Structure 1
Amino acid sequence: MGEVWFGRDNRLDRPVVVKFLQFPATGNKVEDVYTRRFLRESRITAHLEHPGVPAVYDVGTHKGRSYLVMQRIRGVSLRTLLAEEGRLPVGWVAAMAAQVCAVLSAAHRASLVHRDLKPGNLMLEPEGTVKVLDFGLAVAPALTDLSRITMTGHMMGTPEYMSPERIEANVSGPASDIYALGCTIHELLTGRRPFVGATPFDVMNKQVREEPPPLRFVRPEIPVGLEALVLEMLRKRPEERLADADVVHQLLLPFVDDLKPIPGVVDSPTASNGVRLYARVVSQMLAAGHRPATVGALAEGHAMTLRSEQADAYFADGDYRQAAAIYRLLAEDVAARYGPLSERALTYRSRVVTCHGLLGLTDQMSEELVGLIDDHTKVFGASDHRTVQLRRQFGLRRMGRVARDEVAEHQPAVPADLPRRQSAEATDLNDFVILRKPFRLNRRS
């Protein structure tokens, strides 16, 4: 849609980028749509003031062609970097993705959804900072004058990074940007797009119907927790996906490590410059008032504790969808480290089930309860109080489409003399609900 030129502002003596609107070989009606989209991109970019977004200096018309004057970014696009490197260091991918989350957080708070996140729209500067480009497809549901502009019969965007809900219903929200970022992280880590095909239709069909390939099959040194996070971002249903850029940002931080220089692209981390000096002071200010953000909190065990506390906070606030997503990540991470039948893994799985029950996802909850009951029976035995509590919970609910014979199969007779014990750590489903409900009710009152 645009033709980009490097230029110089003669009045203020500074380098700039000038983006001219370029029309396809079609009629006047399409030209009008493109002109309005171009103007909207200018206004959206100017509206979003953030260090990770290029500044807008001017907009106007020259010889009948609309133009946008923007800050010149001295760096390289991640698409170019990926082509040169094949795949990027894990620490740098986490660092760049966390910066993109910071931009998305500001955009989503301003009711803006980017809708076209991809490596080609991300620029890495020599200081290691990232700029998010091209808000030409963004939607602003809360701003009527910046509302979505599309052309009938045209799907706007890049199929390799489109979320299933965009493909099926042309519906976009913050979760759509998270999905696109998940596709981008997957590609930056593995050097391969998660979904490819001979035609755009093939790619979109795979986005909707196929699961993304596990990252560690391609690159085994990728941390288990990072792989789990990316796959969580790529869930097909937006209501099951991590939709909060702030949460994804926090979950990425533990993987920002070993940031070695990228020759010719990023300066050595020890090299001092104005941007890094400024960022260092801001980081220390934030760390002084929020200790979990310090470097010590990035230790593996401490990071997992922070994630658990974050999930508990979402649960206490009644945001069960986000809590379930983080608990699921923790369950997968713990299962990979200590085994799927470890007590901690079963604990987090139980909490996921609790959240799904409170969300009214009855079919999903029933299916998960069946698996939990089986695994608790294997580990603790049929008479253990944790197994019994789960069986009781399953029997009391009788929700969804679970057949009666399946319920009976997972509810063997309970010994009459079974002692009723309570877990001090609230590892079973019933205890967890009882402990957390008062906090949820207090927060909502």
Structure 2
Amino acid sequence: MAAHTVISGRYELEALPVARGGMGEVWFGHDTRLDRPVAVKFVRFPEGTPDEQLTRRFVRESRIAARLEHPGVPAVYDAGVHDGRPYLVMQRISGVSVSDLIAEQGRLPVGWAAAIAAQACAVLSVAHAASLVHRDLKPGNLMLEPDGGVKVLDFGLALAIDLTDFSKITNTGQVIGTPAYMAPEQILAGLSGPASDVYALGCTLHEMLCGQPVFAGSTTYTLMNKQVDEAPTPVRALRPEVPAEVDELVLAMLEKKPEDRPAGAGEVFARLVPFAVDLTPLPGILHPPSAPSPARMYATVLGRVFATTPPSAEEPPVADRPPATAPADLAEVRAEADRLIGQSRYNQAADLLAGAVDRAGHAGDEGLRQEYADALFESGDYHRAAPAYRQLVDDLTAQHGAAAPPVLDSRLREATCQALLGHTTEALRRLEALLEDERAVFGDDDSRVLDLRRQIGLLQLGAGQRAAAERTLSGVLDDLRRLHSAGHPAVTGTAELLAGLRRPG
């Protein structure tokens, strides 16, 4: 971009970007209307040309990110599109990234490593409760501010991946994440959930304590292979003075299978907090304790609230949103919801439809409840979408039978919600049961059945079931080759996925 580029008539960008990554770039700028500094983050398209699907996902997830209200998340001010590229305007943060802190200081004091990671856990707990997974957590995305607070950056660029996106990712080679911090299920199947963020934070905590990445390699592929197959070196083998409990926690966070890791960010937080002590000043990084700090003043008082209650390992509950004030006439409600959905305002549409569903009760028509569940899904609120689809499945089954296409579609959406929430085992159980019924209804060679089998194989990969995944995907490839030409996208995509799975390290 040219120097002093102005976007949306108000955001004046500096001459050069301050950071570039695989999925985006960051520019500092100034909001000329409100006279304040901002950071503007642009999506970078993998193919170099605008991607409509990627833009749609970005818009959806940026709206979720904007709803995150937490001191550890930069505020989202605005969003738009400039020269075909989506962007977010965000609060500009002052401080030092944890990657720069490690480069300057080397191994961090145990107390500071625990304090930084615990603050990240507090943010992840809120994000995961809102069905938002970071997908690229790393030292470079953690900013230590001069008052000692930690900001988790780049939630707005953590683009959502759902089961329908897998074929595109595996075909184009698009990687969402940074290999040195990617969980095995991200590398193998492109599948990210809360447990993937726990793994990435484990890599980051290990690096803060040891002064070097948990895995290193001369190529991206070598590094990814180590993430999938190689056991991490215990922290105490590199730094014996680290408490055994911290070492055990890091190793638990770095378990290869998602279900073997701590249950969530809340549990990691509870295990870290006792070690966030002896937080001595970091010269040149933090303001001295004598310097006035409104943030510290605020935190001091807040820390005394419920001070006798031990930190909880439970994830915060997802708050039920009150139904939005809505027109009484159902036709008006649905028309307004359609208008909101047309503008990608899925969260507002879901809240509007929620009131209508509540008023109608079980007597309400299935189309209304389908629209409600779909709006929740598109808004990224998988916590509420999953039970909405489950109720829909039960009611539709009673009316139309288990083999009706609307029942099968809702079952697929519910299982997808479970997968996106990180409940891989439960998602697999539901998809495998669905597969039996779809085969009976559509036949083995139907595209829906083949696609479902492929999704099961990808989830098996994400769950660490590599042998089962290879069997599943090999069977899918054999059937695809029987039905299609060698150059068919489904054939080449599945073949490339299997080739990567079988490639020796």
TM-score, normalisation: structure 1:
0.60
Q: Which has the higher contact order (CA 8 A, sep 6+)?
A: 2
- The match for 2:158 among 130, 137, 143 is 137
Residue number in structure 1 paired with 2:16? none
Change (3 A) 1:11 1:112: same
Question: Counterpart amino acid of 1:75?
Answer: G
Q: CA deviation at 1:200?
A: 1.4
> CA separation of 1:67/1:216 partners in 2, compared to 1, >3 Å: closer, same or farther?
same
Where does residue 84 of structure 1 map in the other structure?
104
Are the aligned partners of 1:215 and 1:222 in contact in 2 as well (CA < 8 Å)? Answer: yes
Distance 1:181 1:88 in 2: 15
Tell me the equivalent position of 1:210.
Answer: 230
Q: How many residues align?
A: 291
Give ranges in structure 2 of 5+ residues lacking alignment. Answer: 1-22, 315-424, 426-505
**CA separation of 1:74/1:254 partners in 2, compared to 1, >3 Å: closer, same or farther?**
same
Q: Which one has a bigger Cα radius of gyration?
A: 1
Q: How large is the RMSD of aligned CA atoms in angstroms?
A: 2.9
In the TM superposition, what is the alpha-carbon distance from 1:58 to its structure 2 partner?
A: 0.9
Code of the aligned partner of 2:36 = R
2:296: which partner in 1?
A: 276
**Quick check: 1:177 aligned with 2:197?**
yes
Report the alpha carbon displacement of residue 185 of structure 1 after superposing the two structures with TM.
Answer: 0.3
Question: Which residue number corresponds to residue 336 of structure 1?
Answer: none
| Cα separation, partners in 2 of 1:285 and 1:99, compared to 1, 3 Å | same
Partner of 2:284, secondary structure, is: coil
Match of 2:90 in 1: 70
Cα separation, 1, equivalents of 2:86 and 2:75: 18
Secondary structure, in 3 states, of the residue corresponding to 1:285?
coil
Matching residue of 2:381? none
The CA deviation at 1:187 is 0.5
2:210 counterpart of 1:190: yes
Cα 1:268/1:43, change in 2 over 3 Å: same
2:78 matched to 1:58?
yes
**1:133-186: CA deviations, max 9, x gaps?**
1122343879x9x99995733232111111122222332221111111000000
User: Per-residue deviation at 1:285?
Assistant: 1.0
- Sort the Cα spacing of 1:59 and 1:160 in 2 relative to 1 into closer, same or farther, 3 A: same
How does 1:339-418 map onto structure 2 within 5 Å?
A: none
CA separation of 1:278/1:150 partners in 2, compared to 1, >3 Å: closer, same or farther?
Answer: farther
Q: 1:120 to 1:8 in 2, by over 3 A?
A: same
Distance 1:27 1:79 in 2: 28
- For residues 236 and 132 of structure 1, what CA distance do their matches in structure 2 show? 24
2:29 paired residue number: 7
Preserved contact between residue 174 and residue 243 of structure 1 (Cα < 8 Å): no
Alignment CA distance shift 1:106-1:235 (3 Å): same
Counterpart secondary structure, 1:192: coil
Q: Between the two proteins, what is the percent identity of the paired residues? A: 59
| Aligned residue among 121, 138, 157 for 1:118 | 138
1:98 deviation in Å? 0.3
1:284-318 deviations in whole A, cap 9, x for unaligned? Answer: 01205x1x35xxxxxxxxxxxx99xx9xxxxxxxx
1-structure distance, mates of 2:70, 2:60? 18
1:238 corresponds in structure 2 to 258
Query: What is the TM-score when the length of structure 2 is the normalising length?
Result: 0.53
> Amino acid of the residue matched to residue 25 of structure 2?
E
Q: 1:37 to 1:140 in 2, by over 3 A?
A: closer
CA spacing shift, 1:109–1:64, aligned 2, 3 Å: closer
Gaps of 5+ in 1: 294-305, 311-358, 360-445
1:266 aligns with 2:286: yes
Contact 2:215 2:223 in 1 (8 A): yes
